Structure 1
Amino acid sequence: MRCFGEGGGVLEHGVETRLPLSGVEREKTACKQAALSASYRASAQLQALRAQDMARYAATMGPGPRGFRSMVRAGPKAAAHRIWHVLRKINEIYRVEGPGGIGFRLSHRLGLVWDRACASSGGRLGHAGRSGPSGQQGPTRHTAQDHASAMRTLYLAPLPPARMSELAPRMVLIAELSLRQCAKYRVWQKEEQLRALGWQVEVVDWRHTEQALSAMQVGTGVIFYRVPAFPAVETLLAEARRLGLSPWWEVDDLIFSASDYRANGNLDTLGSKDRAQLLFGVRLFRSCLLACNGGIASTRALARAMRRAGMAHVAVIENALDRQTLALAAQILAAPPARPGHGGEIRIVYGSGTNTHDADFRHAAPGILAAMQAEPRLSLHIIGELSIPESFQALGARVQHRPGLDFAGYMGLLAQADISIAPLEPTVFNDAKSAIKFLEAGILAVPSICSGRDAFHAVIRPGENGLLAETEQDWCHALLRLAADAPLRRQLGQQARRDVLARFSPDAITRTQVEPVFGRIPPPGPNPQGLRVLCANLYYAPQSFGGATVVAEETARHLSRQPHTWVSVFTSRPDLPGRGGAAVRYVAHGLDTLAVSIAPGADPIAAIDNAEVAQEFTRWVEATRPDIVHFHAMQGLGLGCVRVCMEKAIPYAITLHDAWWLCARQFMVQGDGRVCSQAPIDLRLCQICLPQARYLQARQDLMHAALQQAALLLAPSESHRALYVANGIPPARIRVNRNGFAWPARPRSPRPAQRMLRFGYVGGADNVKGYTLLRRAFESLARDDWELVLVDNTLNLGLRSLHAQAWRVRGRVEVVPAYTQAGMDDFYDGLDVLLCPSQCHESYGLSVREALARNVWVVTTRAGGQAEDVTDGVNGTLIALDGRAETLRCAVESILASPTVRAYAANPDRARLSTFARQSAELGQWLREAAGKAHDPAAGQNAPPSRTGEMHPARY
């Protein structure tokens, strides 16, 4: 396999060969294309496996007797898998905690179930049936509700319009798309026009609420076209207001005025049910109109009606020509279709479209019939739905009725016409209609006879580019006049073509009508020093879980304070009632943040490659236009996000917080809790560890492609860097960017002289962090002169994962909620020793540094980066990573027996610890280099000089 070397040459089998510059560039391009192809292949394989697994599960667990038989045939492997899992868990609890542990959990779980039952009953059941200590569980119940409410408030807080200033101008069209002609002239044309003005545009069917909600998160404008104010649409309108958008409501028919609609004679041709539905919709359309900030009408008469309804700000953007129509007309005119029949036929063509035009045709029918009776060469070809009056039956084959066609078929038949007609009965409703029929015939140089409605009056100059007809006599006279004068037909048709091109061409209508309303967006100018960074991490505030999240938050905040630097964030969100899977834009730490819903943890493939997340990431990339993307913890978000950067040629950096990029078990801990000892990872051994995971090779291919094309790879510690080097990453491609942390805001308070030695543990209930080992160690202690403080990160979420009541110890164990950044100094003031018995290879260890900076003694396993700043016997105790509780117990007993820790006052190595400011200054300079930006002295004052030759993408 070939890869790029540090000096610009090509490495093959470890030997670098110099190439001409053009050769290097060709190799780089080929490498990028190969990596992208590998990513596509791996993604396709993963999704195929996912589909197979889902189909197999559905077949096994499907409804009905057949599904039940399949479930029974599958046996414990499928039907009882969860039961066996529960039994194993109960057995483990019994072995460690005894009957009391099981009883405690059952009472706790039953209490939660009862709470849910009470909630769903509206409080009718009450809480008399609660079991367990109410003083402990009661607050948890209220905290869960309060937490859910607080999270919703944070995520869905209103955003000021000024927050949109850094987003690329983007219009979201939430539209009625089921009416083909309406969609063509009001939606797809608007998209074309706005794109010509420099806008990004996204079109969404109004019925797809979640998709519309997601699209609006990155919009700077929104248009609701022909949308009624159903409850789901009211949700969209409320979201538009939350985002600071000024929504438009657009329409091309007078469907928001009940009195004007009832005057439309075409309603009489409909059944009572259809008529009632149309009139019911009028109220909803009007409500949606008045809920918006502005209106867009297709005609001046429609604009007047909008103003009468109460909309003060109304713009007129007429139906026009688009690129598709122009190309189709050019193709037809270049090779006119042959017209069957005798040469003397003079063909009239009428496009009805829908079944709502019967009254319109009846208005002109007597005149049309009289003309056809007087001139036997006239024939009538009707396209679409229409109830033809019985009087026309006498004309026999001279009247042809064709079903509805697509636009190309319709235009092909219209081009065969000698005369196009557009009859409309004289009503206010029809005065609001546009001149589409004149445009479509005109672009084909077909002369038109149209009713004297307002839009036709605005564009037709009778006798010059068309004819107008109002009465029966007008229609008969106009048809006979054109039938008798072929040169006049050609003159009117050719002038109509010139006129519609001059007024309604895409360029003309965009310049004269669309640009005055929405403006022209200038292309972004060069900014050689400005840096736009997009930070992506699985969690972000207010979901501040884990050390990687703290690092991502703090580096993003510090980067945003650097001159000429703008930072945005992409992350996941918790479940928010009423939002479904839609994305949410909010502000965290002053940064624009887009949060997406991710697949549940039971879907391992979606955690690796998630198409839905990648789509939301694409939107956010297009909105924020980053110079570089900085990926942190991506498990759950997936590598589809990385592939987006590869497709769009956006440089990206990856901070390798753990082993996720190498191992399907994120922390390289096997199912039995033991650390995996592989250095170069062998998938054959991994398959033994995860026998059901058929995706390991595809996963590795996907990861390799992502790592291969990264402009910058970062490791938080030397030991973690060594892990990736051992797995084939060239050493020069990985830089160490040591994590900072929250330094104390004040000196440590003096330790009370009479206080028992107090230990602390912040790793949660995860065995990977050593929780079970910790418990066994303390339960085996024979002395009672100690206290242990356990931090339960889930208490602040209204849950509980640590149960001190079940511990069988001689000392005192206390469970406390997670501390905040503001409360960190107080928390560590209450500790003498921090215990970090991690059972995996840690990349860094944030809490270790927080404790060392506050002069707290640290006991840690030799777990990679976690132990790098601990000197045994100086500022902490290092123990073997052997999975034995006895090892930790001996360390604790030694500390309890020795006066060293009680007398410990200051960490002598404190000065070598990193800071977020130092880390971010270094990171900012490296990101600028990777993005190809000019060095900004003000942004990187504390950064070390760059080492050359480390930014070339490499294959391995």
Structure 2
Amino acid sequence: MAYSKLPCDTPEKQQSTEEALTASYRASMRIQAMRMDGIAHEASSLRHELSQSQHQLSIWQHTLSWRLTAPLRIVRHLSKGQLPTGRKISDVYHRLQEIYQDEGAAGIRFRISHRLARSSIGRAAERLFERKPASVVTNADGRSKKTTSILTHEEKINQVYSAHISQERLKDFTPRILIIAELSLRQCAKYRVWQKEEQLRSLGWLVDVVDWRETEEALSALQVCTEVIFYRVPAFPAVETLLKEARRLELSPWWEVDDLIFSAEDYKQNGNLATLDKLEQEELLFGVRLFRKCLLSCDKAIASTRVLAQAMQKAGIEHTVVIENALDQQTLDVVAAIQQDGVPQHDTQREIRIVYGSGTRTHDADFRLAATGILAAMQADTRLTLHIIGDLTLPSEFDAMGDRVQTQTGLDYAAYMKLLAQADITIAPLEPTIFNDAKSNIKFLEAAVLSLPVICSPRDAFMQIVQDGKNGLVAQTDAEWRDAILRLAADSTLRSTIGDQARKDVLGHYSPEAIVENQVLPVFGKPNVQHAPELRILCANIYYEPRSFGGATFVAEEMTRQLQRQENTKVAVFTSRPAMPERGKSSIRYCMENTDILGVLTSSDHDSVAGLDNTDATQAFKKWVEAFRPSVVHFHATQGLGLGCVRVCMEKNIPYVITLHDAWWLCERQFMVKADGHYCFQEKINLHTCQLCVPHARHLADRQILMTTAMQHAALLLTPSAEHRALFIANGIAADKIRVNRNGFLWPKSPHTPRVAGQKLRFGYVGGTEEIKGYSLVKRAFEALKRDDWELVIVDNKLNLGIKSVYTGAWKTQGQVSTIPAYTRETIDAFFNSIDVLLFPSQWKESYGLTVREALSRDVWVISTAPGGQAEDIEDGVNGTLIPIDGRPETLQMAVENLLDTPGFMQNYVNPNKATLATFEQQSAELGSWLREVVHVSV
């Protein structure tokens, strides 16, 4: 079929997109509000019932009579025809009869075993008898060998998710730095986290910041970063999980700190430690060990001072760099605001203010270093007042100073700087220890940028910038502290001269531009974003390897392989992942067949509303889009991933294509099958009819807005069959916007094995236990056959998800029924060689029917329902038998018996219409060209 060219973007279309986004967001908010109301109501009811039950049970269980009469209560229940649970024995008996009649004693055993498996007794037994891990035994020659058990399905899947990913793959992602940090210490976070974020962003890096306690958020952020920094993070178990994940992703982590908190020997020299009680000291020293463990778990380290860097190298980290604490935009903005508003003036003839920013009470020992000199100066010059900002325990000698000593606590940074600006003199005393030599010179920076003179101890970081008598004063002894204070108090010109020079020097050395150019750029460089002239396709599909499930997934996987082989084409995948308790709700990146894949946790099947607009999946998708930078997004089968992903494309102006695999885009019931199991034959969807079908759903109108918006703003819509295309055209989709892209499939590697003469006719069914696929019709039809000249093989297609779903042991048939796991790329030919007829009694108009084409290409006859996409390649009586979608097992039974009555024609049967079937190569070539067309039009 020839299709018209796609329309180009216009200003009108841009405006339309904005309006559509608004409508979509509003509909989403209304749906989520309905969902939350429902959850809240349900939770409230459950809490009320639980509270009442617990109260009543508590009263009963704590009475002697309750315990003594327990046997009598059981007898009473039984005499009333009830089990102790309250369920009627007659109901249980009738249900057991039904199961026995349908499935025999084996069916009863099957259900009891499944019920026990979910009980506490069953789980205890499972733990007791669980398969033991691989063990190590010793040979006679003394060499050890590992004996391995067969891996479970879950273990095979976990092997894929836990496999290391080559660092080379990071080169293809947008450069992004993740900072996992301690954020509860405000000053530390300002100078080492938010300042670092600002510096890196100025170089063009994308930066994410996550508190180290938010394990799930940090795990998700690790999946899309290319560099990671752990700032002031201790190696608690949750952090070790993050470090392990960084290793799996082959990131080379940095550990950063601005205090010497990873060496117990050096930390004990900190005199402030003695001011804390014993318990606090023990906790701090315990933390030192954890900080050191985290440091040594990383490859590289960032220090705020050169002494700190030397200590890191001494600890064992060779690759260590220094990025000093500096000025940032917040500081400059605060200072500018202070200067604009003006600093409240005081009469320096009557008062000279000394300001000390303590921060926390861990600075008591530091202050004592200068306390005697400060007190002596205050005694010598009565104008001097002392203003403490923060917590500090003053020596008792200062009590005599009365209200000449003021203390203020609880200030934010702007208020702190505003108070500091009112100082005449600022001080920065620090004990002469390696711990303090490793400290940065923040107190000098903050005072200097306000043009204030600073008196400081000669610690290493201060001496890198302070020139005694020029841009600051240095003091060590009591006398030097006293004299420096009195010297500045006596000379306002000196105060101004020193303060002005300090500001000039600090702006020259520690301005944002200077620190980025001289210290940050040499370490991290500018991000190198590769802009190769290639088509970058992001495919979104609800399932993907290693959790392959369903025909749509099989096609999505094969399209990825095929497109990857096309010239100048790269493909990534967005999909779901299984529940992994150790990861919570975090996403996971893994790689299969040279394809980068991001898996997210989706809502449970019963929460269909959450699956419409999954906020967690949307956030992960947005990060994945930013990381991969797709030229176009192909939404394949996305139910559960949510339509928020579509809005991400609309907001970022990324063209997207939707393959409409089923009726999810039109109907609350994905396959348009009503509660009674019968197909809804609506062609033009009527929401009033839909509301009668799902009376509990209040969101159908808003759901339609979400779906329609997504489809109308797609660059292109695809369906796998002409019949499915017609359904969407009937529901308002423009014919020139929707095209048929027939699914390919795995063609046989060798001819079909001929049926042996006289052999029983062999049937196969691959649809699983869903009613929509006709499972119960197959069961009832074959149980009704009064002959045994047949065999039936049923594929349990959920085993790849770790679930046993098919149980045929209780089928009452005269022929043989067996169950096998789903076939793979390697075993598909063997499966179809083992059958003569494929059963495809689907109870809805399928969008395609991949299994039908796999059978037709292998000269296997097909019994299929019609109409629907499943029947488009079947010519009744030529390569298959077509039956109506009527939900009657008798119809299927008749078709089966017609074949059983004439088995001879199957002897050397060859499908004469194979040449009309699609191939993966044809499908991918067509898809690739259309995706390129979409990208070209959008550009």
Q: TM-score, normalised by structure 1?
A: 0.90
Aligned-partner SS, 1:249: strand
- Which of 745, 750, 772 is 2:754 aligned to? 750
Alpha-carbon distance, 1:352 to partner:
0.8
Alpha-carbon distance, 1:781 to partner:
1.2
* 1:448-468, Cα deviation, whole Å (9 max, x unpaired): 111110000001111221111
Distance of aligned partners of 1:739 and 1:86 in 2 relative to their CA distance in 1, 3 Å threshold: farther
Distance of aligned partners of 1:345 and 1:108 in 2 relative to their CA distance in 1, 3 Å threshold: closer
The answer to whether the aligner puts 1:317 opposite 2:323 as a matched pair is: yes
* More displaced 10-residue stretch of structure 1: 542-551 or 374-383: 374-383
* 1:636-686, Cα deviation, whole Å (9 max, x unpaired): 111111111122111111110101111111001011101011111111111
Distance of aligned partners of 1:94 and 1:674 in 2 relative to their CA distance in 1, 3 Å threshold: farther
Alpha-carbon distance, 1:782 to partner:
1.8
Query: Which residue of the partner structure matches residue 486 of structure 1?
Result: 492
The answer to whether the aligner puts 1:620 opposite 2:627 as a matched pair is: no
Aligned-partner SS, 1:213: helix
Query: Which residue of the partner structure matches residue 468 of structure 1?
Result: 474
Please tell me whether the aligned partners of residues 657 and 843 of structure 1 are also in contact (alpha carbons under 8 angstroms). yes
Query: Which residue of the partner structure matches residue 553 of structure 2?
Result: 549
* 1:818-869, Cα deviation, whole Å (9 max, x unpaired): 1111110111011100000000121011100101111111110014111111
In the TM superposition, what are the counterparts of 1:768-787 in structure 2 within 5 Å? Answer: 768-787=772-791
* 1:135-173, Cα deviation, whole Å (9 max, x unpaired): xxxxxxx98x71121111111101111121111111111
- Which of 847, 852, 856 is 2:856 aligned to? 852
The answer to whether the aligner puts 1:178 opposite 2:159 as a matched pair is: no
Name the CA distance, whole Å, in 1 between partners of 2:525 and 2:917. Answer: 52
Gaps of 5+ in 1: 10-20, 73-78, 126-141, 934-950
Name the CA distance, whole Å, in 1 between partners of 2:698 and 2:563. Answer: 40
In the TM superposition, what are the counterparts of 1:13-162 in structure 2 within 5 Å? Answer: 25-62=10-47, 66=51, 68=53, 93=99, 96-97=102-103, 101-107=107-113, 109-110=115-116, 116-121=123-128, 146-162=152-168
In the TM superposition, what are the counterparts of 1:1-20 in structure 2 within 5 Å? Answer: none
Distance of aligned partners of 1:205 and 1:503 in 2 relative to their CA distance in 1, 3 Å threshold: same
Aligned-partner SS, 1:357: helix
How many pairs were matched up?
Answer: 893
* 1:735-785, Cα deviation, whole Å (9 max, x unpaired): 111111111112222222232110000001111000001111111112211
* More displaced 10-residue stretch of structure 1: 388-397 or 859-868: 388-397
Query: Which residue of the partner structure matches residue 292 of structure 2?
Result: 286
- Which of 345, 356, 361 is 2:367 aligned to? 361
Query: Which residue of the partner structure matches residue 645 of structure 1?
Result: 649
Name the CA distance, whole Å, in 1 between partners of 2:37 and 2:55. Answer: 16
Distance of aligned partners of 1:804 and 1:556 in 2 relative to their CA distance in 1, 3 Å threshold: same
Aligned-partner SS, 1:445: coil
Distance of aligned partners of 1:853 and 1:452 in 2 relative to their CA distance in 1, 3 Å threshold: same
Query: Which residue of the partner structure matches residue 871 of structure 2?
Result: 867
Query: Which residue of the partner structure matches residue 702 of structure 2?
Result: 698
Aligned-partner SS, 1:877: strand
Please tell me whether the aligned partners of residues 353 and 385 of structure 1 are also in contact (alpha carbons under 8 angstroms). yes
Alpha-carbon distance, 1:336 to partner:
1.6
Distance of aligned partners of 1:216 and 1:310 in 2 relative to their CA distance in 1, 3 Å threshold: same
* 1:861-894, Cα deviation, whole Å (9 max, x unpaired): 0141111111111111111111111111111111
In the TM superposition, what are the counterparts of 1:721-870 in structure 2 within 5 Å? Answer: 721-870=725-874
Query: Which residue of the partner structure matches residue 639 of structure 2?
Result: 635
Alpha-carbon distance, 1:231 to partner:
1.3
Please tell me whether the aligned partners of residues 249 and 295 of structure 1 are also in contact (alpha carbons under 8 angstroms). yes
Query: Which residue of the partner structure matches residue 610 of structure 1?
Result: 614
Name the CA distance, whole Å, in 1 between partners of 2:806 and 2:452. Answer: 81
Aligned-partner SS, 1:657: coil
Query: Which residue of the partner structure matches residue 442 of structure 2?
Result: 436
In the TM superposition, what are the counterparts of 1:213-292 in structure 2 within 5 Å? Answer: 213-292=219-298
Distance of aligned partners of 1:467 and 1:837 in 2 relative to their CA distance in 1, 3 Å threshold: same
CA-atom RMSD in angstroms: 2.7
Gaps of 5+ in 2: 58-84, 133-148
Alpha-carbon distance, 1:589 to partner:
2.4
Name the CA distance, whole Å, in 2 between partners of 1:232 and 1:53. Answer: 34
Name the CA distance, whole Å, in 1 between partners of 2:419 and 2:92. Answer: 70
- Which of 408, 412, 416 is 1:402 aligned to? 408
Query: Which residue of the partner structure matches residue 707 of structure 1?
Result: 711
Please tell me whether the aligned partners of residues 564 and 570 of structure 2 are also in contact (alpha carbons under 8 angstroms). yes
The answer to whether the aligner puts 1:202 opposite 2:208 as a matched pair is: yes
Aligned-partner SS, 2:261: coil
Please tell me whether the aligned partners of residues 740 and 917 of structure 1 are also in contact (alpha carbons under 8 angstroms). yes
Name the CA distance, whole Å, in 1 between partners of 2:640 and 2:423. Answer: 60
Alpha-carbon distance, 1:476 to partner:
1.1
Please tell me whether the aligned partners of residues 185 and 319 of structure 1 are also in contact (alpha carbons under 8 angstroms). yes
Please tell me whether the aligned partners of residues 175 and 529 of structure 2 are also in contact (alpha carbons under 8 angstroms). no
Please tell me whether the aligned partners of residues 305 and 439 of structure 2 are also in contact (alpha carbons under 8 angstroms). yes
Please tell me whether the aligned partners of residues 61 and 71 of structure 1 are also in contact (alpha carbons under 8 angstroms). no
* 1:212-234, Cα deviation, whole Å (9 max, x unpaired): 11111111111111111111111
The answer to whether the aligner puts 1:897 opposite 2:937 as a matched pair is: no
Name the CA distance, whole Å, in 2 between partners of 1:656 and 1:80. Answer: 48
Distance of aligned partners of 1:821 and 1:80 in 2 relative to their CA distance in 1, 3 Å threshold: farther
Aligned-partner SS, 1:314: strand
Name the CA distance, whole Å, in 2 between partners of 1:90 and 1:675. Answer: 30
Name the CA distance, whole Å, in 2 between partners of 1:779 and 1:456. Answer: 90
* More displaced 10-residue stretch of structure 1: 896-905 or 644-653: 896-905
Name the CA distance, whole Å, in 2 between partners of 1:104 and 1:330. Answer: 77
Query: Which residue of the partner structure matches residue 139 of structure 2?
Result: none
Distance of aligned partners of 1:665 and 1:236 in 2 relative to their CA distance in 1, 3 Å threshold: same
Alpha-carbon distance, 1:312 to partner:
1.1
Please tell me whether the aligned partners of residues 61 and 68 of structure 1 are also in contact (alpha carbons under 8 angstroms). no
* 1:878-920, Cα deviation, whole Å (9 max, x unpaired): 1111111111111111111124641353211111111111111
Alpha-carbon distance, 1:8 to partner:
9.7
